[in-house]
Amino acid sequence: MRTSRLSLLGPACALAVLLAGGGIAHAAPDGPDLVGTWLPADGQAGGRAYAALAADGTWTGSDGCNALKGTWQGGPDGAFAATSGPSTKIGCENVPIAHWLAGATQAERDGDTLVLRDATGAETGRLVAG
């Protein structure tokens, strides 16, 4: 049991350092510039869902009905971390933008498309520049 607790400690510490600003910039020298407004790539919610990543490390957005906000960091080799703060709870199409961001550990940009991936490499979301 002790081994499993310790094995979880490493990733948790790495995420804490990343979110605390551990030397990782929002536009890393060898990473993509992520600052800007991003919309779901499949057009869900007709442009009402979005995430706006600001240079100061905050993000705001909408899932199509609810206001969203949090913090984010990008780093070398596509490293990415985000938090999601409180939100209103209006029922609608609810594109899970906050979940996509908070679940991502990697962000790769391909032209105007931003692909978010979790620690296993699975895609958590796909966004396009808005």
> Where exactly are the structural domains of the chain?
2-129
Contact between 79 and 34 (Cβ < 8 Å):
no
Q: What is the CATH number of domain 2-129?
A: 2.40.128.270
pLDDT at 32: 61
Distance CA 74, CA 14 (A): 13
Contact between 123 and 116 (Cβ < 8 Å):
yes
Query: Can you give the pLDDT of all 130 residues of the chain as single tens digits?
Result: 444 333 333 344 344 434 444 444 444 434 468 999 999 999 988 889 999 999 999 999 999 999 999 999 999 999 999 999 888 777 787 899 999 999 999 999 888 999 999 999 999 999 999 9
Q: What is the pLDDT of residues 59-90, one digit of tens each?
A: 999 999 999 999 999 999 999 999 998 887 77
